[in-house]
Amino acid sequence: MRRRVQDFPDNAATGVETGGQGAFRMAPPDGPGPSWSEKAKKHGWMVVRLFLIGIMAILVSGCSHFSDGQRAASSFREANDLFTQGNYQESLDRYRQILEAYPATGDRVLFEMGFILSYPKNGQKDYGKSLECFRKLLQEYPGSEYRRNSETMIVYLSNVPLKETTIAAQQTEIESLRQKVKGKEDQIVALQQKVGALEKKAIAYALRRPVVDLVLIEKEARRLSLISRGELLKSYRIALGGNPVGPKEQQGDNKTPEGTYVIDARNRDSRYHRSLHISYPNEMDKKRARELGVSPGGNIMIHGIKNGFGWVGDAHAEVDWTKGCIAVTDEEIEEIDTLVPNGTSVEIRP
């Protein structure tokens, strides 16, 4: 029930003075006491104190979050140090602890564990468990920055058992051949000397500049060939853009260009070991893009494998994984970088 002013027994005690027709106003207090300005000032200081307390709470919360980030980074460094020292099982155990303590880092933990479980020098490597880690990452973290590298690892690991069986069979055959040639060491040494002499001649020939006057790339055959004075010097298996059929038309279409270009620059500190820049787009590419009303894109390279994954080697060419570039192994890009000078013609065929 609403109370009226007159319901209070002593208006003077409440500091309220009634007026006509039910109106009321604040009446000054009786006797000595703090002034209204002093009360207002005191009230203002209370608001400031409450505000400062709120700011401190936010800062403390922020510091705690920052501390968690520092601890996570420290834990990752510890796990990586164990891996570097060859303590692979201890490193895996540390990553499991990180996953339990910091669930938000799950995609990175799964990727690192998958890598360790498939690492060639790990005597207890387990390709099956490694595949489980990468597949779980793809399933549970579809937007992860580790997704593309995980897909590459899955392709590689899917072929490892077959390759290891093939290697074992080849090693058995090699051992059988060694037994057959036993007792012919002198003849083998003579042949090795001849091979060495021929290799020196080939290197001396290759190092005469300019050596390569044409880089021929055949997309359908997945082949890059170095041509010197009309003769084939060497060929390499390649990987192309993820959408390899047809010429590149616009930025982001993951297509490898088709046409005639030149090597116009190189980067020996590339994120993909080394790289040679191709002069895409040419005038025909630019005209086609204008007609389509799109940007033709650019930054097309011949490059190696992403830093840290060079050990994948020839297996990288089992899938087209670039964004339009032409990829070879790290050893091959070093050789190409040595043999192909800037200004060399590049012909890319369908």
- 63 catalytic? Reply is no
Pairing of strands 223-228, 231-237: antiparallel
> Active-site residue among 133, 273, 277, 325?
325
Name the burial class of residue 282, with classes exposed (0-12), middle (13-18) and buried (19+) by CB atoms within 10 angstroms of its CB: middle
Pairing of strands 231-237, 301-303: unpaired
CB contact set of 262 (below 8 Å; sequence gap of 6+): 278, 279, 342, 343, 344, 345, 346
> Active-site residue among 133, 273, 277, 303?
303
Q: What's the CA gap between 29 and 16, in Å, rounded?
A: 9
Q: Give the CA angle between residues 231, 338, 228 to the nearest 5°.
A: 10
Pairing of strands 301-303, 326-327: parallel
Residue 348, CA atoms < 13 Å, CB-side half-sphere: 29
- 325 catalytic? Reply is yes
CB 94 within 8 A of CB 78: yes
CB 283 within 8 A of CB 275: no
Just list the catalytic residues: 303, 325
